[in-house]
Amino acid sequence: MIRFSIATILLLLAAFAAQQFLSAFTGLHHSRILLVQLAFLCCAVASGQPLMLLLAFIGGFLWDAQCTLAPHPGDPAIYTQPTESLRFGYSILLFAAAGYLTQVIQPLFRQCKWLLTTALIGLTLMLYLTLERGLISFIRGELQIDQPTFLQILFTSLFTTPLAPLLLVPLWLIARACDYDDDQEPLRKHHR
């Protein structure tokens, strides 16, 4: 269990490093490949709840450290209505929510149904992005996801999802090599 946990944490950290090399597709509604979220979802589908929560904490914490903007530095007497934004750490809860969703499809992963697992991970990613954008929009006074934002979410999910098998298969192999069993049936039985 320890070896598999370390492997998934290292994979998540490697995804953070690799994310720096992936720029946005400015011509396609600023969509991008979200490797960090994908790595987390793939790890979450392969892990038990305690490990998933640990990964959600690490992933959400580092993601917010990467993305959080500074508060407006202007005089509050002039800037009386600063634009509201979500607090640092909100991604931890979002990652956990997405992690719990992906754990529902764990049986498919155990049965090596990669295509279905990939499709459902893509759907979870889309839900994650919609929820995140919805929360940002809601805290600013209106719950609104306009067409450009929806297209950005859609293209981001479409570009990211096909990479899922590249992480799912190695994770499955690592789990098997580490004999990882998240208190359920061992992976080997299903493989047979």
Partner 1 sequence: MKPLNLIALLLFLGGALWALTRSDRVVRGIQSSYYSAISPFLRTGSSLETHAREFLSDTKSAKTLEVELRQARSELNRLALIESRFQSLEAENNELRKALGFKQSAGFHVIAAHVTRRNPTTWWQTVEIDAGTNEGVRDHMMVLSKDGLVGIIDRTNPCGELSSVLLLTDEKCQVASRVEGSPEVGILCGHRGTPDGEALLRLRFLSPNAAVQQGQRVFTSGRGGVFRADILLGTIDSVEKGALDSEALVRPSVNFADLGAVFVVLPADS
Which residues of this protein are in contact with partner 1, per CB under 8 A? Answer: 16-18, 20-24, 26, 29-30, 32, 34, 48-50, 53-54, 56-57, 60-62, 64-75, 77-79, 81-83, 85, 87-90, 92-93, 96, 129, 132-133, 136-137, 140, 144, 146-149, 156, 183
CB of 114 to partner 1, least distance (A): 26
Closest to partner 1 by CB, 104 or 169 = 104
Task: Please report the sign of the dihedral spanned by the C-alpha atoms of residue 75, residue 76, residue 81, residue 82.
Answer: positive
CB of 174 to partner 1, least distance (A): 21
Closest to partner 1 by CB, 144 or 191 = 144
| HSE-up (13 A, CA, CB side) for residue 64 | 17
CA gyration radius for the chain? 18
CB of 38 to partner 1, least distance (A): 13
Closest to partner 1 by CB, 6 or 169 = 6
Closest to partner 1 by CB, 113 or 137 = 137
